Structure 1
Amino acid sequence: MDIQFPCGREDIERVLPHRDPFVWMTRVVECTPGESITAELDVDPDLPLFHGHFPTHPVLPGVIIMEALAQAASFCALVDRADEGVLGFFAGIDKAKFRNQVLPGDVLTLSARIVKSSSRMVVADVEARVGDKVCATATQKYVLARSEE
């Protein structure tokens, strides 16, 4: 796939199967396919999830942060693969730590470094930051499988 970086939502959707309301990347800032990525998510204050998490102190749920990191790492792992129709499914999250809250209006920086990649499995060390504050870290594992379209 011929994608130039930085890139936006249109190119993200060329690589990932996710669509609204479950695309958790706004842009890819830089990417070395198969190696590393830096992406960003503009945390929209109008997201409906903030009405329930939590009404008096809205914060982006940790599971959404982990999903955003997985989307960034999956983009990095899949962007240069010739075999279209391959999806990355969570196989595990190790050593997850949540250090700072992500608030409505924040720009969340998503970084991933692919530490292992084969035709069936990808392992990535991931980190989410707002400014210079680390919000979450983990080692994530994804199994690669062909979509059943």
Structure 2
Amino acid sequence: VGKWARGVKNVSANEAYFQGHFPGNPIMPGVLVIEALAQLGAAVILAIPENHGKIALFAGMDKVRFKRVVKPGDVLDLEIELGRMRGRFGKSQGKATVDGQLVATAELLFMINESD
């Protein structure tokens, strides 16, 4: 399809999740790295003209791999590329890095739904 986007998340030490994940050794939860990729993917899908006014729902994930932890002060670079769409369903490839080092990769699945 050729649709893609890049995003950036400045990881602040003030993020609430650092309170308990983990005391004395703060690490951004991996699920939030994947959520950031999913939100960027939803933005790509909803930017397609025929999807304006619709809702992109996160439908699943495959092939998730974590390679590095994300700490307070890191700048999380996000990339997502939309793959094939079949009807209301789509697949995308996501990648997160910090300072050029791979943090995570994932195949994310989406479903387009009417906003009603």
**TM-score, normalised via structure 1 length:** 0.72
CA RMSD of aligned residues (A): 1.7
Asked whether 1:78 is paired with 2:46, we answer yes
Q: Percent identity?
A: 33
Unpaired runs of 5+ in structure 2? none
The alignment covers a number of residue pairs equal to 116
1:65 match: 33
Partner Cα separation in structure 2 for residue 90 and residue 130 of structure 1 = 24
Asked whether 1:106 is paired with 2:74, we answer yes
Unpaired runs of 5+ in structure 1? 1-32
Structure number with higher strand proportion? 2
* CA shift for structure 1 position 81: 2.4
Q: Which amino acid aligns with 2:10?
A: D
Asked whether 1:116 is paired with 2:84, we answer yes
2:96 match: 128
Higher relative contact order (CA 8 A, sep 6+): 2
Partner Cα separation in structure 2 for residue 39 and residue 92 of structure 1 = 21
Partner Cα separation in structure 1 for residue 59 and residue 65 of structure 2 = 18
